[in-house]
Structure 1
Amino acid sequence: MDSEWFARKLAQPDVRSHSAAAIFLASQGSDGYCHVEPMLARCKELDLSRNDFDKYEDMLLLSGTRAIAQIVRSVGYDEANQLHR
């Protein structure tokens, strides 16, 4: 997977594309750092007060948070970086 593929998937309007990107983003390590902010934005778009997520929303939330954690872990936690808080 290349950086352009992730950018295209995250730019799509559908949750299915976002969840596909989230699943594969965790394996990118520090190379995926440029996608952390857009992935976080996609996860924040979900209404967490609901409890009836469809399978793609569920995959986005679970895989997206896992991917973000893996990437931050691979680059090292930096307290000064707003994204790491």
Structure 2
Amino acid sequence: MEDCEMFAMLNWDQVGPAAMTSVVFAMVGLGLLGIGYELLDLLLFRKMCFTEELKKGNTALAMVISAFILAMSLIIYGVTN
């Protein structure tokens, strides 16, 4: 099948709503990720400032934060799909 035929088969009536839905889910996902990050900071690391520790070069904290963000992203992906 040529590219022109595939392009013509696209249902343009559904492109706008699908794009809007994707944007809404992305915004909801980012909001939930931000809330989760703040809860992590509030509940687990009360006595520690993330920014100061990262400026000091605390790679262990950076790995914990990145693992948390990855885990939350996977959970949010599963919930929104």
Please report the TM-score for the alignment, with normalisation by the length of structure 1: 0.31
TM-score when normalising by structure 2:
0.32
Give the helix-richer structure, 1 or 2: 2
Structure number, greater radius of gyration: 2
